[in-house]
Structure formats: structure tokens, C-alpha cells
Amino acid sequence: MRPLEGRRLWFVGIGGAGLSAYAQLARAWGAEVGGWDRTETPYLAALAGIAVELAPEPLVPNGWEVVVSSAYPGVPGRTRADFLAELVARRESIVVGGTHGKSTTAAMIAFVLRELGRDPAWLIGSTVPQLGSNAGAGEGPLVVEGDESDRTVFRLPAAIAVITNVELDHHSEFRSLAELEDAFARWGASATRVVRDAPPHAGELRVPGEHNRRNAGAALVALALVGVAADDAAPVLARFEGVGRRFEASEVDGVTIVDDYGHHPSELAATIDAVRERYPGKRLRVLFQPHLYSRTRYLARELAAALAAADDVAVTDVYAAREPPRNEVTGKLVVDALSDRGRLPAWTPTVEAGVDYLARRARPGDVLLTIGAGDVDRAPRLLRARLGR
């Protein structure tokens, strides 16, 4: 069970959610592992004891095979998609793809398999507290979250392909929804078995919302395909508590803070619905950070429509991530679209300004939702510090 023995693998961008998981599995499978990143990240804790270089620009020592994050396309080496395809090909794999719910659905499958003694391996692009890490190296099936943002998922040779849903989210990569749907259809046709359009799970869950009932339904079908009966899986699934930054709730001084990774209009709408389900009758105040210039440009009105379901909204400027700045695209596009709907949102360009806005207005009994895929994840800590005084 050490198929990578004798190899030296250097990961450029090793602190990210994806490459940190690949590095963990590569080390467990016998490789010598090292890597570079710009800053220390929480994901590096699971890689204690390996050589990690922290520097402003990528460092690649001689004598290593190089695997490069999609965030650093100018660095020579294997793409993360190519390396992940190699890992997936070495084990019977359940690959979860789709626009929304990939991390949660993959984590649900891995959690049930582990709890029932099936000893899975897993690679998930988020922390999973109940699993202890975003990667595991068991000897059973390999459960993988596949990302469509750079077409990685379409390179993965799945024994079971799970397609949660398909919506256009990455406008710089796909020209149309039809192109994306075609890519998923061709990927599904290449798999041994496909799970798609699974019915929502009607049983008990700790994670709220219709979207999570659909995630659980897809997980149960995939589990059945590897021989786990629904009667065995459902009680375990009822104990699943979620993945990092997916409806993470805390409370301070009578105010509930919910932090979520949602960044697409459908994800915002689903999370707001889940808040209303979990905290009925509570006043909901939202701090939203748009993610990517392309998404903000094309979906500003749809983002505003989703946010309009909240009682109070503040919007920051765009978190650029991997895209170059576009002067004509700011978070104010979302603010203006909300204003067009008769709402009075707050324009708070920085996360700190957004936190200040929510903290000033928060009252006991309120729910504060911080949501987005960028560094708005700092907001809950800042809010707890402000509100706990």
C-alpha cells in the first residue's frame, strides 16, 4: 500500500485546501513530500515534519517532481489535475463533482464509510472536523472531491461519478451552461456508474437546509453502489456535523454568528433558507464578500436577488483570488443591484468595515451571517471580539 515509494514530490501551493490533501495522501503512500507556499495556513498542520518553504515567490529545489496548484500556472511542473488523476487511478474511486455541495457530499460518504469500518481514503477540499483532516489514507475506496473550476474533475477516472448539480459558476473557464453540461455528461459517460438527480434524504440530519437533504440523498445512493445499505448508512449520516465553513455556527452575548463559504447566488439563497429553517423568526443580518471579478460581473443581479431575502445586508469589495483586477467591477455592482430591488444595503469595502457595521447594529437574538469564499472567513473572529466586550 505504498505505491509512491521512492518518489520525491514538491507541491507548489502546498498550503491550499487541495494540494495539502494530495500531499498528505502522497506521504502516506510512501513519497517524500515537500512544498512551498506564500504564507502559513491551517492546512499545513497535518503536514508537520515535512520541508515547507514560506516565501513571497515560488521556490522549487532541484531533484524533485513538481506538482503545481492552479493558482500558479506560470510555474513549470505537473498540474494538480494530472497528479490527482494519477492518485484516483490507483484505487477504486468515488469522485464527487458538480457546482454546489461537492465538499459536503464527499465528506458525508467518507464519514459513513469510516464509521461503518470500510476504511476509506479521502481527498476533500475543506476541513472535516469529524474526519480529523481533509485527507485520509485508509485501504478502502478513495472518496474524492473533483473541481470543475479548472476542469480537474473531467480528468478523473471515477468508478462512481457523483454529479450533485450543474450551474454555470466559472465564467472565465466555460463559455456557457451548455458547455458545462456537456462536459459533465461526457465525464459521467466515462465512469463505471453515475449518481445524478438523487432524491433528497427525508431522514434526520444535523446539517440544515434543503440543499443538505439533496447532498445526503446523493451520498446515500453512492454508498449503496459500494454495498452500504440505506438502513445502515442513514443513522450514521444523522450524526454528520458538516465541513469547515459550511454553516459553522457560534454564539456570543446572545447573538448567533453563522459563517459559510457560499459565493454563488444559489448557494447564498440555500444558506439563507437554512438560517431561516434553523433559526425561525430571528432577524438576519448578512455580510457578503463577492468572489472573483468574472462572477461578480455576470451574476451581480442574481447575487442581489438572493441577498434580498435577508433583513439587513452589507457588501464588501470583490475578493480577487486568481483573477487580475478589473476597475469597472467592484462589490458596488451588488449594492446597486440590491438598491434596484428597493433595498438599502451598506457598502463596506473592507471586511473590517463590514464587521464594524454588523457589530454596531446587532441586537440580542439576531443572526449574523458572514458569507463568501475569500478572506471574509476572518469576520467571525472579529465579530466575537467586538460583541464579547
Distance CA 147, CA 101 (A): 11
* pLDDT at residue number 307: 98
Residue owning grid cell 472536523: 129
| HSE of 79, CA atoms in CB hemisphere, 13 A | 12
The verdict on 144 and 229 lying in the same domain is yes
- Distance of alpha carbon 372 from its chain centroid, rounded? 11
Q: Which of 203, 237, 271 is the last residue of a domain?
A: 237
Are residue 257 and residue 357 in the same domain, yes or no?
yes
The number of distinct structural domains making up the chain is 3
364/353 Cα distance (integer angstroms)? 21
Residues 51 and 143 grouped into a single domain: no
Domain boundary among 44, 79, 114: 79
Same domain, 213 and 99: yes
86 is a domain residue:
no
- CATH number, domain with residue 199: 3.40.1190.10
Give the pLDDT of residue 323: 87
53 phi, psi to nearest 5 deg: -100, 125
In a domain, 85, yes or no: no
Q: Is residue 1 domain-resident? A: no
Q: What is the pLDDT of residue 342?
A: 96
Give the CA angle between residues 170, 175, 176 to the nearest 5°: 85
Residue type, 125: G
| Cell numbers that stand for 262 in this block | 457560499
Q: Residue 94 in contact with residue 158, Cβ under 8 Å?
A: yes
CATH at residue 62: 3.40.50.720
Are 257 and 165 contained in the same domain? no
Residue 150 lies in a domain: yes
Q: Is residue 154 part of a domain?
A: yes
**What is the reported pLDDT for 16?**
93
- pTM attached to this predicted model: 0.95
Domain coverage including residue 286: 248-387
Residue that is written with C-alpha cell 489514507 in the block: 137
Picking from 271, 264, 166, the residue whose alpha carbon sits closest to that of residue 211 is 271
Other CB atoms within 10 Å distance of the CB of residue 249: 17
Instruction: Tell which residue, 118, 96, 94, has the closest CA to residue 233.
Output: 118
Please report, for residues 13, 237, 286, the alpha-carbon distance to residue 19 in angstroms, rounded to integers and kept in the order given.
7, 27, 31
Each residue's pLDDT tens digit in the chain (389 positions)?
Answer: 799 999 999 999 999 999 999 999 999 999 999 999 999 999 999 999 999 999 999 999 999 999 999 889 899 999 999 999 999 999 999 999 999 999 999 999 999 999 999 999 999 999 999 999 999 999 999 999 999 999 999 999 999 999 999 999 999 999 999 999 999 999 999 999 999 999 999 999 999 999 999 999 999 999 999 999 999 999 999 999 999 999 999 999 999 999 999 999 999 999 999 999 999 999 999 999 999 999 999 999 999 999 999 999 999 999 998 888 899 999 999 999 999 999 999 999 999 999 999 999 999 999 999 999 999 999 999 999 999 86
Report the distance separating Cα 57 and Cα 323, nearest Å. 17
CB-based contact 193:157 (threshold 8 Å): no
Q: Are residues 161 and 254 in the same domain?
A: no
Q: Cα–chain-centroid distance for residue 290? A: 15
What CATH number has the domain bearing residue 303?
3.90.190.20
Distance, in Å, from the CA atom of 347 to the CA atom of 314, rounded to the nearest integer, reads 6
Domain-embedded: residue 84: no
311/338 same-domain check: yes
Helix, strand or coil for residue 256?
strand
* 72 lies in the same domain as 97: no
| Residue 243 located in a structural domain | no
Q: Mark which of 237, 265, 284 sits at the end of a domain.
A: 237
Tally DSSP H helices, then E strands, for the chain: 11, 17
pLDDT score recorded for residue 389: 62
- The position carrying cell 457598502 is 347
